[in-house]
Structures are given as structure tokens and as C-alpha cells.
Amino acid sequence: MATNKLALLRYKTIDECLKNRFRKWTLEDLIEKVSDALYEYEGIATGVSRRTIQADIQVMRSDKLGYNAPIIIADRKFYTYEDPAYSITNSPINDADMAKMKEIVSILKQLNGFSYFDEMSELIAKLENNVNKTEKKTQDYIQFEDNKHLKGIEHISPLYQAILNKTALLIEYQSFRAHQPSKEIYYPYLLKEYRNRWFLITRMKKYTHLYTLALDRIVEFHPLTKEAYVDHYGVDWNRYFSDTLGVTKSERDRGQRVILHFDCANAPYVRTKPLHHSQQVLSDNEDGLIIRIDVVLNFELEKEILGFGECVKVLAPRNLKEKIRKRLTKAHAQYVEREQEIKAAKEGTK
């Protein structure tokens, strides 16, 4: 028997609470959070009873829905997951839910082709493939770029809800340069994907400029419903990254004219798969392809250029050209040093 929508909302809210290990959860706390969720998403102002939440916890603990949630009571008072990595979202879906998903896929396929759904074609194909694979135990018939070991994917849905509902967040974050994670209050504004990696564009409470946080570097976070949310006015997020490759950009950065020369072997690749939507062909002949793109000079741009190795040359601007030259010279030096070490070792054995 399919689980009704309100019950799923309650289970999901309890799950989000128990995953949040920043605080301890009494039964009264869970009742309050579920009541808030019912009011926020369904407009139900009557709240939820103690008995209902206790029954929900028993259902989550059981095999009835396949959750088998390891919910324990610590200190005879506080509810938590015995396994910190557990979530009901990791549980397999039941037959009734599978039937609903097949019905949804069928409807989406019928709507696909209408202009409003053009951007959903990839999503519909991926969803149908996953449903068929789960139900029929078949192999993949379509493969998308994916990284099964990528951390932080589980944060996308709750972060999206925080942005949608304008909710401040307490985020524990550890950058690649930091030895220890730090906790700060952030105001989330945008989720952005680049090269199969997700990022959160946000602002720290104590500063005025924007930050880009990689989701795979977020240790943990939870919403601060009593903290006033501060919007970031004056930014059109649909245009903010239009002059950027990747996600590295400050509000002061502006796109610059970048001119690149590609050899003949790589010219067809760059013609058919432009580096950026601003790409213009300046020259295309037997000497190769010269293009112009108008983008911010950032780390992702350098990485893109370096990925072509000896097949591309930066013609402008001068500072980017010099930076790429220095990086290639440094890379070359590593091979020279290694060759000298090997030669010296051989001579030492004679």
C-alpha cells in the first residue's frame, strides 16, 4: 500500500532532524519541526500529535517501508541515528512507489518536445533509465557523466529548499587549504554545477562579498529558522556567470577578450564544441583556428587552456599569455629535473 504524502513529509522531516548532529532531539523537538513542515508545505496549522510521531518513528524503525532506520534514544531522552551516515533517502523504493515513478516517466515523455520541457530531455532519459534498471535489473542503456564517489550530492535537495525558503544556514566547511573545518552562518543564493561537481554561491554573515562553497567540502549544515535571512540584491543570477567558465568569480570580475589559436588537428573539436557561448571565429584556414571568447580570467579558464597542451597558444591578453607560459615552463622543468636525476643515478652505478 502506497504511503500518503503527509506521512512521507513527516518521515522526511524526522529524517532531516536525526541527520543533524549539531543538536539533540527530544520527542517534543521532533513534534515541533514536523508541525512547522506541515504548515510550511501543506498549510496545516493544527500541528501533529505526540502519538503520530511515535508511530512514525516505529514505522521508520521497521521493515514496513524498507527503512529499518537505526533510531535510538540516547540518555533516555534524545532521538538520533546510531549510524551517523544513515538516511531513509538511501533506502530502496517499494513496488507502489516504483509504479508511481513509471507513471510519472510516462507522462513526462508525452510532454517532452513542448518548448517548456526542452531542457528536461536529459533528465527524463536519465529517470527512465534508472527506473528500468531498478525494476528489471537490466544494465544501463544510456550513460551520463557521473562520479559515484563524489561527496556532497546528498546536500543538493536541502540546500535548494534553504534557497527557495530564504533560510540562513550554519555550515561546517573545510576548504582544501584549511587544516580544520570552521563553522559560520551563511545566506545561500544559488546552486551551480560545473563539470559534474556542485557548488553553493553564498555570503557569510560577517562579510559582504560572495563565497563559492564546494558541496563536497561541506562537512555538515543545518537551517537557522530564527536567524534573519539577508538577500543579496542587485545580482541577476541568470546573468552572473554568463561571462565565466566554471564558478570562480568575484562581483568585481568582468569578462575580458581572450584570443586563442588552435592547431588544425584540434580545430574541428573547438568548432563543434565551443569553449564558451561567446565564442567567435576570427580566422579558420590551413594554419589552424583562431577564436575569441569574452570570459573572466580564472582558474577554470587556465585549466581549460592547459588541457589542450601544445595544441593551443594564447594570443591575448598578455597577462594570461604570460601566466600560461610560466605554468608550462614549470611543468616542463619537472620532467627535465627527473631526467637529470635518472641520468645521475645511472652514472653513479657505473
- Dump the DSSP string for 285-306: ETTEEEEEEEE---HHHHHHHH
Q: Are the beta carbons of 211 and 202 closer than 8 angstroms?
A: yes
Q: How confident is the model at residue 89 (pLDDT cuts 50, 70, 90)?
A: confident
Range 328-340 average pLDDT:
86
The confidence score (pLDDT) of residue 1 equals 36
- Compute the half-sphere exposure of residue 179: CA atoms within 13 Å on the CB side of its CA: 0
pTM for the complete prediction? 0.65
d(CA 112, CA 119): 9
Tell me if the bond preceding 70 is cis, omega within 30° of 0: no
Q: Are the beta carbons of 59 and 65 closer than 8 angstroms?
A: yes
Q: Does the structural domain 153-240 have CATH classification 2.40.300? A: no
Beta strand 71-74 with 312-316: parallel, antiparallel or unpaired? unpaired
- Write out the DSSP string of 118-170: GGGHHHHHHHHHHHHHHHH-PPPSS-----TT-TTGGGHHHHHHHHHTT-EEE
Range 228-256 average pLDDT:
91
The confidence score (pLDDT) of residue 82 equals 92
Q: Are the beta carbons of 247 and 194 closer than 8 angstroms?
A: yes
Q: Are the beta carbons of 225 and 274 closer than 8 angstroms?
A: no
Above 90 in pLDDT, residue 344?
no
What are 119-159's pLDDT values in tens digits? 667 667 777 776 676 666 666 666 666 665 667 787 888 89
Which grid coordinates belong to 305?
Answer: 587552456
Range 61-85 average pLDDT:
90
Q: Does the structural domain 5-89 have CATH classification 1.10.10.10? A: yes
The confidence score (pLDDT) of residue 228 equals 95
Sketch the domain layout of the chain as residue ranges: 5-89, 95-136, 153-240, 256-331
Higher pLDDT, 124 or 19: 19
Above 90 in pLDDT, residue 321?
yes
